[in-house]
Structure 1
C-alpha cells in the first residue's frame, strides 16, 4: 500500500517555482528520505501534503485519500515536526502538550511523560525559557504523542546535540518497528544514510532521482583514485566518468558503469596505487548538484 502518493504536484509562487511536476510514492512501513539543500522544495512539498497550502496543479493522497478533500481526517493520523518551531511563549511545556493532546482521542498523558523522559525535557518550564534545542524536543513530543501512523519530519534534528539526535533516531526506529511510516526531509545526508530505506533527491523543485540507499551508494557509482607519475587524464575519456580531477601525482573521479572497463584502462598505465570504493551518500548527492 502507498501511504503517500503524489502525482504531478506543482506549486508556483507567482513566477517562482516551489515544486514542479513532482511524482512520488512512499510505501507503508518504510523510512523514506527526502533530501535537498535549503530552497530545493522540501518544505513546500510537505506543506502541500498537509494541506497547509494549495497546489497550482496536480494532486496528493495520504492513506489513499485526497489531502484536500479529506484533510482533517488524514491529519488525525499524522505526526508532523516542522523545520521551525513557534509556540505560545507564556505556556508551560506540559500545558502546551496537554493542549495538543486534546485534539486527539484517548489519554496521552503517559505517552507524553515517557517521551519527555527520553528526550530529557522539563515539563514544568515555560516555553519562553527554553533554548532552541529544547523547543525542538517539545516539537518531537508533540508530533509523536498520539502514536501517528505517518510521521512527517522536516529538518528534525536542527538544534539537537549529538546525544539527543541519537535518542531521537532510536525513537523513530522504534515507531517504525511498531508500524509507522516515516517521511524524513533533511539536508544532512548522514542522517538520511543512517535511517532511511529509500531516498528521493529534489533539485530546484524537481525530483531528479528516487532510489534505495544501498543502490544509490553501491551500485550506481564508484569513487576511483589512481596514484602514479606522469598520469594522463585523457586516457579516461569514456562514458560514465564525472568529477574528474588531476593532481600532481594522482587522478580522482566518479565512475558509473561496468567496473571492468575502468580496470582495463588502469591496467594500461603504470600506477603506484589504486583505490576503488563506494562514495558516501553526500558525495553522490553533490554529484547530482554539479
Structure 2
C-alpha cells in the first residue's frame, strides 16, 4: 500500500488556541478521502498544512512521498488545490486567468480547459469580477483539475454549485480516481462525502474522532423516522416499537391514523421487520444533517 498523504501527530496552535491537535492520517494513493466536520473543526487548517501554506507547530506530514516544506514548486505542480475561500477578482476573462494558472501549474493538454468548462457550464469569455459565486467556484474547479495532478486537495468543492453541477463534479472525481489520481476533499455536507469518498475522517475541535469507510459511516448515522399506521391501536404499536434497541425518542400519537416518530441509529432493518405485520400507510426516513450526526458522534465518544 502506497500513501499519497501521511501525517504524524500534526499539530497547529495559534497562541492558546489549538486548531489541529496531533492528527495521524493515512490516505492511500488512488483513493477518494473525505474529511467532515462542522465549521471550525480543523479541516481547512489540515489542508493548508499539507500544502505548506502554513507551517505546523509540531508533528510532520508527507505528501506524494515528500515533505510539503521542502518539496517546493516541483511538489506543488503535482497538486491541484481548490481553497474553501476562493477569492477571484480582476479585469481579465476566465480563459486568460486559466492560461496564467496553466503556466504556473504545468502542462495542460490541448482542449482540456474547454472540455472542463463545457462540462461545468462555465463561460470562459466573461470577466472574472462579473462572475457569480457559483461560476467562480466552477473556475476554481477547472484550475484544480485541468493539469491532471497526482493529488487533488479540494476544500468545500461544491459550495455555491447547483445540484446538476454537483453531479458533474462527482463524475469528475470518479474519473480522476479511475485515472489513478488521489482526491482529498473536505465538506460539512454528509451526502456529498457519502457520494464521493471511499474513506472518511470525522473531525472535532481539531481532533480526529473517527476514521472509517463510507459504508460504516452510513450505518452509524442517526435517522429520523415517521410512520403512519391504520387499523392498529396505539398501545400495540407502542409496545412493539419500544422493544427496539436502536429506536429512541419514540412518540406515538393516537387518532384516525396512528402517527409514530423516532430516531434510529444505524440500520433500519429491525424497524422495518417490526412494523411489517401492521398496516403501514406511510413511511419516511430522513437522514439528519451532518452537524446533528457529528454532535451525536461526539457525545458518544465523550461518554466512552
| 1:101-250 equivalences in 2 (<5 Å) | 101-218=102-219, 220=220, 229=234, 231=238, 244-246=249-251, 248=253, 250=260
Structure 2 partner of 1:79: 80
Give yes or no for contact 2:93–2:125 (8 Å, CA) kept in 1: yes
Alignment partners' CA distance in 1, 2:198 and 2:286: 17
SS at match of 2:105: coil
| Paired residues, number | 282
Unaligned runs of 5+ residues in structure 1 are: none
Q: What CA deviation, in whole Å up to 9, does each residue of 1:232-269 have, x standing for no partner? A: 8xx7798xx68545455757344579x99x99xx8xxx
Give yes or no for contact 1:101–1:108 (8 Å, CA) kept in 2: no
Structure 1 partner of 2:257: none
TM-score after normalising by structure 2: 0.79
Alignment partners' CA distance in 2, 1:174 and 1:108: 16
SS at match of 2:69: coil
Alignment partners' CA distance in 2, 1:30 and 1:181: 5
Alignment partners' CA distance in 1, 2:113 and 2:166: 18
Q: What CA deviation, in whole Å up to 9, does each residue of 1:6-32 have, x standing for no partner? A: 111111111112111111111111111
* 1:287 aligned onto 2:293: no
Alignment partners' CA distance in 1, 2:266 and 2:192: 24
1:252 to 228, 245, 262: 262
Closer, same or farther: CA 243–72 of 1 in aligned 2, 3 Å: farther
Between stretches 244-253 and 192-201, larger displacement belongs to 244-253
CA-based RMSD of the aligned residues comes to 3.4
Give yes or no for contact 2:234–2:252 (8 Å, CA) kept in 1: no
Closer, same or farther: CA 117–18 of 1 in aligned 2, 3 Å: same
Closer, same or farther: CA 212–29 of 1 in aligned 2, 3 Å: same
Alignment partners' CA distance in 1, 2:167 and 2:244: 44
Alignment partners' CA distance in 2, 1:136 and 1:251: 39
SS at match of 2:115: helix
Unaligned runs of 5+ residues in structure 2 are: 255-259, 300-304
| 1:20-59 equivalences in 2 (<5 Å) | 20-59=21-60
* 1:99 aligned onto 2:100: yes
Q: What CA deviation, in whole Å up to 9, does each residue of 1:39-65 have, x standing for no partner? A: 111101100110000111111111121
Alignment partners' CA distance in 2, 1:78 and 1:173: 17
1:105 shift after superposition:
3.4
SS at match of 2:186: strand
SS at match of 1:207: strand
1:3 shift after superposition:
0.6
1:167 shift after superposition:
1.4
Give yes or no for contact 1:98–1:109 (8 Å, CA) kept in 2: no
Give yes or no for contact 2:224–2:287 (8 Å, CA) kept in 1: no
TM-score after normalising by structure 1: 0.83
Closer, same or farther: CA 95–216 of 1 in aligned 2, 3 Å: same
